[in-house]
Amino acid sequence: MNRLIALCAVGAEKILGNELKLLGYKLAGNAPGRVFFDGDDDSLFRANLCLRTADRVYLEMARYHAEDFDQLFDGVYSVNWQDFLKKDSRVVVDKVRTYKSVLNSEHAIQGIILKAIYKKLGDVWNMLTLPESGEESDVRVFISEDEVQVCLDLSGLPLHKRGYRTNGGVAPLRETTASVMLQLMLWRRKTPLHDPFCGSGTLPIEACLYAHNVAPGFGRRFALENLPIFNADRAREIRFAEAEKIRTDVECRITGTDIDPGAIERARMNAEHACVMAGRALQMIGSDARIPRPEFDVADFKDLHAPFERGLLICNPPYGERLGEEADAQALYRDMQCFFEDFKGWELGVITANKKFQECIKHYATTLKDLKAGNLDTTFYMYNGTEKEKNFSNAKKPYEKRYWGSKSERRRNESREKNSRGGYGKSERF
């Protein structure tokens, strides 16, 4: 068995853990942004191929206690690196994370780790200098309370880079974050799903792949494939087995709209690439079936009207940080109040880094989840479809206390927001 580490957005550890358990792997603990699990040799490739919410997968090479650089060096040197690296591998210690440890100089730690790896390889192969002309192999180090964990990257490019998105536009949502959002909303394929700010189409595309049980890694390679431990024949068998799990007999209603025609063109192109990727996987098992594409259309979200009694609205509207101005984002959030009238009975999920989102939309979320999306601290606001009774004038105190600070601040907010919600006249657009 191997000890592996899957990285994810901070706050998504439980979602990733559930995904690992569904793949049949035994969890071995977690830390912020990391989930540890045990798996057989197949898991090295299969985890990279199948995980939707993981950002990277690492193989734990060593775990030991070190309070000085000699102990740090000896622990790394003891690893049989010659079994995992080629003679021409270019080793890079890409990141070091330390927490409450004697050793806390990231630069010095990187140097000692790299020196120990090359010393071991040189001694085993009787080489004074290694060529470093081959593929890059990344090593990551975590030191927590003097416990050192040395890990070898099996993914290469981050796993949110599925391979289907050739043009993401400005500030696109990560595919892994989109998958976390879908899991947090407990979305099922029979529930109509719509993204009113679809941009490059990430949320509808990820929903489509999930609904049809398409492994997200079919369209790319992994760093594991450059290592001596990679078993190409077994990897083909795993791909074949996962291709057989693709479902082409399911019906689902997945759509997206955006006011920008250019964004819709990008979304359609990316969706086509994703579904072609799925089609190639199906061809591996002799099937010429097709995965239905999500439907995209140009529309202003204020002109939309629910075409079904129940469904899920899920979106990543502008934050006011990377796109546009703060005031513009807050004006957009105020306009989003129309969702509670025009999509009555629908669930709503909104991710944003803007802390005034609830103040602007004038509804408390049923559930909130903090997620670290890239370098941004975001919050995912989830509404279960009954929030029309939970506006700022009658929200329950537990929500007020948690999200609105002092009593005086809450009273001012209640006074300012009371009876300020307006309505819109709409037409059906999708």
User: How is 132-152 classified by DSSP, letter by letter?
Assistant: --S-EEEEEEEEETTEEEEEE
H-run or E-run covering 384: none
Query: What is the assigned CATH class of domain 175-417?
Result: alpha beta
Residue 135 CA to residue 122 CA, distance in Å, equals 18
pLDDT at 309 over 60: yes
3-state secondary structure of 87: coil
Position 427 pLDDT exceeds 60: no
Q: What is the CA radius of gyration of the chain?
A: 24
Order of strands, sheet of 376-383, starting from the edge strand that comes earlier in the sequence: 295-298, 254-258, 193-195, 312-315, 347-352, 376-383, 367-373
Residues 384-423 have pLDDT tens digits of: 987 554 555 544 433 333 333 344 444 444 444 444 433 3
Q: What is the pLDDT of residues 228-268, one digit of tens each?
A: 999 999 999 999 999 999 999 999 999 999 999 999 999 99
- Residue 326 has a pLDDT of 83
Mean pLDDT of 64-75: 98
Beta strands 147-153; 136-144: pairing state:
antiparallel
pLDDT score for 372: 86
The CATH number of domain 2-153, selected from 3.60.15.10, 3.90.850.10, 3.30.300.30, 3.30.2130.30: 3.30.2130.30
Do the first three CATH levels of 2-153 and 175-417 match, i.e. the same topology?
no
Residues 6+ apart with CB under 8 A from 209: 52, 216, 274, 278
Domain boundaries, the chain: 2-153, 175-417
Q: Which of 69-73, 167-171, 199-203 has the lowest mean pLDDT?
A: 167-171
The tens digit of pLDDT for each residue in 368-382 reads 999 986 678 999 999
Spatial CB neighbours of 93, under 8 Å, sequence gap ≥ 6:
109, 110, 113, 114, 138, 139, 140, 141
The percent of residues in the chain predicted with pLDDT above 90, rounded, is: 83
d(CA 116, CA 119) in angstroms, rounded, equals: 5
Q: Are 74 and 148 in contact (CB under 8 A)?
A: no
Give pLDDT tens digits for 179-219: 999 999 999 999 999 999 999 999 999 999 999 999 999 99
Q: 121-130, 135-144, 323-332, 341-350: which range is least confident on average?
A: 323-332
Q: Do 167 and 189 form a contact (C-beta atoms < 8 A)?
A: no
Question: Residues 138-153: pLDDT tens digits?
Answer: 999 999 999 999 999 9
Residue 85 has what pLDDT?
97
Q: Is 400 helix (H, G, I), strand (E, B) or coil?
A: helix
pLDDT at 318: 83
Residue linked to tokens 């079919």: 218
In this prediction, residue 168 carries a pLDDT of: 60
Instruction: Count CA atoms within 13 Å of residue 246 on its CB side.
Output: 29
How would residue 319 be classed by pLDDT, with cut points 50, 70 and 90?
A: confident
- At 399 the pLDDT is 34
Find tokens 């450059």 and name the residue. 226
pLDDT in tens, 84-140: 999 999 999 999 999 999 999 999 999 999 999 999 999 999 999 999 999 999 999
Whether 288 shows a pLDDT value over 70: the answer reads yes
Side-chain-facing half-sphere of 261: CA atoms under 13 Å: 0
* Residue from 54, 49, 48, 18 nearest 33 by CA: 54
d(CA 373, CA 369): 12
Cβ pair 298, 256 in contact under 8 A? no
